[in-house]
Structure formats: C-alpha cells, structure tokens
C-alpha cells in the first residue's frame, strides 16, 4: 500500500482528499501546518507528498525546501495560485509537479498514480543499470567529475555531494548515460514524466536552470549542460 502525506491547512479540503484517496487504496496522513508536516514526513516516510503552498506557520516554498533536505519523495503542489511564476517558484523550491485549485478528485488521483508509476519505472531502470554494471551502484563520467550513486540517489560533483530533487536526479542520470546526445524539451519531458502528465516543457527549463546552479562554476556560461539553440539541451563532461 502506497503512503500519501497531505499537508493542507483547510480542514475540509484535507479530510475530503484523505477520504477519497483512502478509498482509492492509499494509506493517508494529514498535517494542517508545516511543522507537523515535517514531523510526519520523517516518521511516516510517504511515497508522495501533497503540499499546499499557503500554510499558517510557514510558506510552502520554505517547507518544500526543508522537505527536500531529507526526503526524496515526489512533491505534488496543490495551490490556488495559477500564475506561471508561482509554478516556477514551486519547481525551483524542489516540487516535482503542480496542480491548481479547484480540481477534480479524479484528476488528483490520476496525478498521484502517474507519479507513482514514474517512480516505480525509474526504480526498475535503476535496477537494470545496476545489473548491467554488475551490481555497481554508481555511474561516473570518464574524468570522474560527476558521480551518480543510484542506490542513495545522490549526485557528487568533484567529490562534493549536491542536493537534487527527484526530477533533477533523473535528468542528470539521463544526461550522463547519454553524454553528447541532444535532447529536445519534449524528449526530456517524456523521459521524465511520460504521456500522462499535465506539466509543460517550461518545467524542463526550470529543472535545467536549477541543475546549472548546482553543478556549474558559472551557471550563466554553462560548460556541462549546454543549450543547443532551437533544439534543446545536451550534456558534456569534457571541455
């Protein structure tokens, strides 16, 4: 049974979501403020986190960042804010997807199902890579500038650990295992999300910008994650 954590200060909304998703077969816990959400995220270890961006004790952006400091669970933001800038802010804070209120219960159930399927798919892919590497759980670039630890889902740049979101890690894994290949935004979106996601390719640009800030010496003049104008992006480990 998959575990869901709902962090929502609207009691009626939280209970409605919990009731519906419990009937869908999930194990659900609710937190009505950020601090309780952090405590439950540590003790409950959810598979997916539903996060409202407006909470009484802290901003959803801050909470998202704190969750990311110890949890790899995909974060689905649920918010009344509909502006593109709000979506970008959530993604930059570490969210993996975004859904606007009002929404149908079937829609949010489909979102959660898609996230879980993608997570399961990535775990299978990681296992396949590990088997192909004869149980080696790391992927390294030729010059060992970048190292991916598949078991811990950790990225090391010049031996220093770099915190990444679920989506950012998957983009880097795709880049490093296909060095030099040019990916369009649509290809990255498909590899990352599959056909059943409602997000747009704008999310890819946000993830790329975040990765550049984390791995590049000068994100404004990237050496590793390069833009191929009119097409998309490619990764190179050597200059």
pLDDT, one tens digit per residue, over 54-72 is 899 998 888 988 998 888 8
The confidence band for 132, taking pLDDT boundaries of 50, 70 and 90, is very low
Question: Which residue has better confidence, 120 or 227?
Answer: 227
Q: What is the SS3 assignment for 2?
A: coil
Q: Domain 1-118: give its CATH architecture.
A: 3-Layer(aba) Sandwich (3.40)
In the chain, what percentage of residues exceed pLDDT 70? 85
Nearest Cα to Cα of residue 68 among 147, 150, 165: 165
In angstroms, the CA 46 to CA 30 distance is 11
pLDDT at position 127? 52
- Is the model's pLDDT at 33 over the cut of 60? yes
The C-alpha angle 223, 226, 230, rounded to 5 degrees, equals 155
pLDDT at position 179? 87
Long-range contacts of the stretch 214-220 (C-beta < 8 A, 24+): 214/157, 214/162, 214/163, 214/164, 214/168, 215/146, 215/155, 215/157, 215/162, 215/172
Q: What is the mean pLDDT of residues 117-122?
A: 69
Question: Which residue has better confidence, 132 or 34?
Answer: 34
pTM tops 0.95: no
To which H or E segment does residue 60 belong?
Answer: helix 60-68
Identify whether the C-beta of residue 84 lies closer than 8 Å to the C-beta of residue 202: yes
Query: Domain ranges in the chain?
Result: 1-118, 135-233
135-233 adopts what CATH topology?
Answer: Arc Repressor Mutant, subunit A (1.10.10)
Average model confidence (pLDDT) across the chain: 82
pLDDT at position 233? 93
pLDDT digits 0-9 by tens, 156-174: 888 888 888 878 888 888 8
Answer whether the bond into residue 102 is a cis peptide, omega within 30°: yes
């Amino acid at each position: 049974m998959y575990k869901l954590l709902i962090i929502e200060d609207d009691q009626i909304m939280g209970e409605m979501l919990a009731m519906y998703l419990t009937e869908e077969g999930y194990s659900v816990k609710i937190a009505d403020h950020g601090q309780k959400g952090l405590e439950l995220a540590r003790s409950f270890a959810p598979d997916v986190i539903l996060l409202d961006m407006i909470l009484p004790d802290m901003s959803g952006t801050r909470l998202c960042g704190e969750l990311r400091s110890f949890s790899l669970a995909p974060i689905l933001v649920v918010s009344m804010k509909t502006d593109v800038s709000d979506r970008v802010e959530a993604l930059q804070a570490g969210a993996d997807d975004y859904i606007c209120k009002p929404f149908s219960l079937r829609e949010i159930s489909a979102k959660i199902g898609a996230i879980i399927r993608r997570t399961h798919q990535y775990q299978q892919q990681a296992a396949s890579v590990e088997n192909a590497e004869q149980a080696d759980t790391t992927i390294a670039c030729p010059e060992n500038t970048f190292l991916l630890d598949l078991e811990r889902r950790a990225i090391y740049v010049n031996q220093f650990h770099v915190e990444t979101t679920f989506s950012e890690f998957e983009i880097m894994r795709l880049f490093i295992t296909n060095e030099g290949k040019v990916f369009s935004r649509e290809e990255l979106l498909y590899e990352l999300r599959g056909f059943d996601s409602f997000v747009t390719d704008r999310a890819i640009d946000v993830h790329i910008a975040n990765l550049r800030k984390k791995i590049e010496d000068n994100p404004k003049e990237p050496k590793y994650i390069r833009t191929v104008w009119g097409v998309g992006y490619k990764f190179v480990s050597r200059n």
